[in-house]
Structure 1
Amino acid sequence: MARSTEQSMQGVSSTDMKHNDRLGATAAEKLARFACDLRLDRVPQDIPPLAAAILKDAAGCALFGARFPWAQAVAEHLRDLGGRPQVPIEGFRGLALPLPQAGLLLGTMCHAYELDSLRSPGAGVHPGATVALPALAHALADPSLTADRVIVAIIAGCEIMYRIGAATMHSPETRGFHAPGLTGAFGAATVSAVLTGMNADQLARAFGIAGSLGGGLLAFAKAGDGGMVKRLHLGRAAEAGMTAAALSRRGFEGPLAVLEGRFGLLDAYCEHSDPSLLTRDLGEKWEIRQTCFKRYAAHITVHGPAEALRETVGQHGLKPRDIAGISLEMSDKVLSHHNIPQPDDIMSAQYSVPFMTAAALHVDLDDPRSVTEELLHDPHIRKCSETIDICGNGEKKGWSFKLKLALQDGNIIERSGHGFSGADIKEAAPDWLDSKFELMTADIPEKHVWEEKLIDISSSIDTARSP
């Protein structure tokens, strides 16, 4: 009995011990073993800088996001709760939070204005909010964590979360679930496990717990109000994963078949899924290379047509009055989720393809400060949005588009594409990412603690890879 009690206090239950001889039998166990065994010298040399870029971009998004009322409301709620402060939160003077609560606020801040990174092709994952910032929280709470451990944790979290997202085939959203709220809990759990020295048994159990803690509904996309809740989904996912890891360390158990099993994530939430994608080519194909960074403070489906419209207008010297009509051909998912011609709040506006495409004619979308509540009341934008004709292009999902401009002089200009410049992480040059960070943080006077940590992590990558 004493031995069992000792094992439980260490976070390894008797049930875990029974599964030691079949580790790898489920996808959760295979993924957990991969994450816990990962070392920096086992990854290709281009991968660590990608992890550092995701972290810096996420920090910039969060610092920019701190200004918005939804982030401030979460911060005040957590300030009232109290608790042992561990993580200093830039953007809120004197605020420091316990780890899981820091994840809640940081994830909300990062996703606060539709600027944070994701995967291309889309898989319902946002690594900045639910992987990189939980890693930063741990690094700020525990100064003994080395840069290489933080980078490894981010890589592991992305590999696992991206695979889970890919296996869902992005189909939870057809049922009304906001996918990043589901997948993000697994990414955050991975980061917490790696950075607190958990073993594979414990992480597999943490996945089992995370599957019951993530969530989020897309009701805001149809209700016309309450869009603030979308920002919260990523914070809740980060908090859920960090909580799942903390509970697992204390012996709490979750089902090992949480991903592919009956009533598991793929079965319960997905219209379609491919369980083989959970572990296929694990450690050989690096999913983190699928990361892309946003250019505009808008949903990713807006980026292609908005960029094409801005480029076309610039090339031809057009003014809004020169355009008689705009039509778009896009995927079924855009038609069902993002065709919101007359949004009632700023979140719905950012989620709307026709509205933000119309906005691209009137404001500089490169500057996120141009996307304000005032756009909602601009009669020119609202009229243009209302008249944009959107029809299907035969694809169920994806970012492909065909833009057609009918000009007042009778001419027609067409543009088509499959995304936007920067959609491929290899196109997101460090100089552009640095410029985006500086733009997002230009009016933030206090960011010293975070910046020092970011500089330390980025500058230590090469050193950390040395034998």
Structure 2
Amino acid sequence: MTTLAQQLGAFAEQSYAGGVPDDVAASVQQRVLDVLGLCVAAHRLPTSAAAIGHVLDQGGHPQATAVGVPTRVTAAQAAFANGILAHSLDYDDTHLPSVLHPSASVVPAALAAAEHAGASGEQVVRAVAVGLEVAVRLGMAGYDEQLGNSVFFEHGQHATSITGAMGSAVAASLLYGADPVDALGLTASMAAGVIEANRTGGTVKRLHCGLAAQAGVTAAQLVRRGFTGPPTVLEGRFGFFEAWLHGQFFPDAVTDALGSHWSVPGIFFKPYPANHFTHTSIDAGCAFRERGILPEDVGSIVIGAPASVIRTIGQPIEVKRAPETGYQAQFSGPYAVTAGLFGGGGLGLGLDDFTDELAQDPARRAVMALVDVVPDPRCDAIYPFQFPAVVTLTTTSGEVLVEEVLTNRGGPARPLSDDELATKFADNVAGRLDADAASVVRRAVAGLRTATDVTDLLSPLKKEFR
């Protein structure tokens, strides 16, 4: 009997050899541009400097580009660095309802392996597409329809890094000419991620996609040198699903319509640099502002949200009402609606709207102190296919205003246009990448499918960013 890993491996090899649908390829190109912009933008963070410093301390053969580093590093370390950068701003894409961020690990892994192996742009596109599909399908195998949530998430596990490592391994194995089944078999012993930092602080989550990308590249390299993995790595008695989900998984999500239905184009882009659960609250705050409500007009705000997300954006409520850092603000429902009410840059709110100074701003904290986050049954019925919010604002004069935001901007129901994604990229690289270099990257992404390698894509990014 063919195992789940063997079915995924056959799909990967067939798609890599025969090509992927044009809409899937176009979506991959958009995600490559998005990830590279995020990698540049993340250089503003002290954790990024720490990660780059760690990578440079490792030494090794020059094989691949870490964004913002003039000299090449090993492929595994490039994947590690770029995965950290891509995920650190919480601005990377999200698949629903699996609630994972696939591109921030798969794209860095594929670019590092491609540069090391001398792969073409078309090969990169195909490998990324397959890696994303594998990551999403494994994530969906942990989605329980009756529970209405990811079993990974219920266990405190970060599916982003767990299934992202597996997708990264498949992408890297294709580019290296290694067996994707064995790559899955090895990577299952490396995949990990715990999300307690979402609740109470810490910057460890920024490492998750870097570790996933590094694991995928490392596994593919080891397979190429002769290491093998169990073909029953996914469904086996001591396999991936038993270890992570205690055997509670849905194998049809892995295999149904594999190769004919692609999840990649439906992955949600993020318009705002914050935890995706907060985005509809941001939209509500922006809508109140457009209706003429000023911060000083607020008497109270109640965010109605899916019960499952409240532990991330509303608990402990005293912490969420008074974030100490911009990073904590990215996971705060009270900050999200408040920031939308104040207004900002980018596509409505940008990176400069999530700073330590603004998180501690007395005027914003005065509004945040008036915000509650409560369960809403309408939102529960929609989650996790969207992250809806029903936000009720009562003014100081007693007027009651309601904004229902039931679909996420950036997803299939409210997609971002190419121009909006270009605006996001430009906002992300502003002040770090000059206009000419930014144009070179955009053109290289647009022409990726005909490129002989990834040199033109990555060369403009081999400089120090401050």
TM over 0.5: yes
Match of 1:43 among 1, 14, 20: 20
Q: Deviations over 1:11-32 (max 9, x none)?
A: xxxxxxxxxxx5xx21111001
Distance in 2, matches of 1:385 and 1:423, equals 28
Distance in 2, matches of 1:463 and 1:327, equals 51
Match of 1:165 among 132, 139, 144: 139
Cα 1:264–1:154 shift into 2, 3 Å: same
Give 2:355's aligned residue: 372
Distance in 2, matches of 1:40 and 1:302, equals 40
2:67–2:82 contact (8 Å) kept in structure 1: no
Q: Deviations over 1:49-101 (max 9, x none)?
A: 11100110000011111221111101101111100011233323x23210111
2:322–2:360 contact (8 Å) kept in structure 1: no
Cα 1:412–1:117 shift into 2, 3 Å: same
The unaligned stretches of length 5 or more in structure 1 are 1-21
Distance in 2, matches of 1:61 and 1:377, equals 25
Cα 1:212–1:383 shift into 2, 3 Å: farther
Distance in 1, matches of 2:405 and 2:17, equals 36
Name the SS for the 1:422 alignment partner. coil
1:225–1:344 contact (8 Å) kept in structure 2: no
Q: Deviations over 1:140-194 (max 9, x none)?
A: 334x422211110111111111111111112212111122111110111011111
Give 1:151's aligned residue: 125
Match of 1:258 among 229, 233, 238: 233
1:422 and 2:410 aligned = yes
Distance in 1, matches of 2:76 and 2:49, equals 17
Instruction: Quote how far apart the aligned CAs of 1:210 are.
Output: 1.1
Opposite residue 37 of structure 1, the aligned amino acid is: Q
Alignment map for 1:350-429 (pairs within 5 Å): 350-364=330-344, 366-394=349-377, 395=380, 397-398=383-384, 399-424=387-412, 427-429=415-417
Cα 1:264–1:336 shift into 2, 3 Å: farther
Alignment map for 1:132-143 (pairs within 5 Å): 132-142=107-117
2:5–2:184 contact (8 Å) kept in structure 1: yes
Report the TM-score when normalising by structure 1: 0.86
Match of 2:92 among 105, 116, 120: 116
Match of 1:293 among 265, 269, 272: 269
Opposite residue 165 of structure 1, the aligned amino acid is: G
Distance in 2, matches of 1:357 and 1:266, equals 37
Opposite residue 366 of structure 2, the aligned amino acid is: K
1:90–1:446 contact (8 Å) kept in structure 2: no
Give 1:247's aligned residue: 222
Alignment root-mean-square deviation, CA: 2.3
Instruction: Quote how far apart the aligned CAs of 1:445 are.
Output: 3.4
Distance in 2, matches of 1:453 and 1:148, equals 16
Name the SS for the 1:360 alignment partner. helix
Give 1:329's aligned residue: 304
Report the TM-score when normalising by structure 2: 0.87
Cα 1:384–1:457 shift into 2, 3 Å: closer
Match of 1:341 among 313, 317, 321: 321
Distance in 1, matches of 2:409 and 2:208, equals 27
Opposite residue 107 of structure 2, the aligned amino acid is: A
Give 1:8's aligned residue: none
1:220–1:229 contact (8 Å) kept in structure 2: yes
Opposite residue 53 of structure 1, the aligned amino acid is: Q
Distance in 2, matches of 1:358 and 1:148, equals 44
Instruction: Quote how far apart the aligned CAs of 1:451 are.
Output: 6.7
Alignment map for 1:83-98 (pairs within 5 Å): 83-92=60-69, 94-98=70-74
Distance in 1, matches of 2:78 and 2:330, equals 26
Cα 1:370–1:336 shift into 2, 3 Å: closer
Give 2:45's aligned residue: 68
Distance in 2, matches of 1:346 and 1:445, equals 23
Q: Deviations over 1:191-218 (max 9, x none)?
A: 11111122xxx21121111111111212
Runs of 4+ aligned residues of structure 1 deviating over 6 Å after TM superposition are: 446-451
Opposite residue 85 of structure 2, the aligned amino acid is: M
2:33–2:445 contact (8 Å) kept in structure 1: no
Q: Identical aligned pairs, as a percentage? A: 28
Cα 1:453–1:197 shift into 2, 3 Å: farther
Match of 1:304 among 280, 291, 303: 280
Give 2:3's aligned residue: 26
Distance in 1, matches of 2:63 and 2:341, equals 45
Cα 1:42–1:76 shift into 2, 3 Å: closer
Greater CA drift, 160-169 or 444-453? 444-453
Instruction: Quote how far apart the aligned CAs of 1:45 are.
Output: 2.4
Name the SS for the 2:273 alignment partner. coil
Distance in 1, matches of 2:195 and 2:435, equals 33
Alignment map for 1:161-240 (pairs within 5 Å): 161-169=135-143, 170-198=150-178, 202-222=179-199, 224-226=200-202, 228-240=203-215
Instruction: Quote how far apart the aligned CAs of 1:378 are.
Output: 1.3
Opposite residue 364 of structure 2, the aligned amino acid is: I
Distance in 2, matches of 1:76 and 1:297, equals 24
Give 1:443's aligned residue: 431
The unaligned stretches of length 5 or more in structure 2 are 144-149, 315-319, 453-466
Opposite residue 153 of structure 1, the aligned amino acid is: A
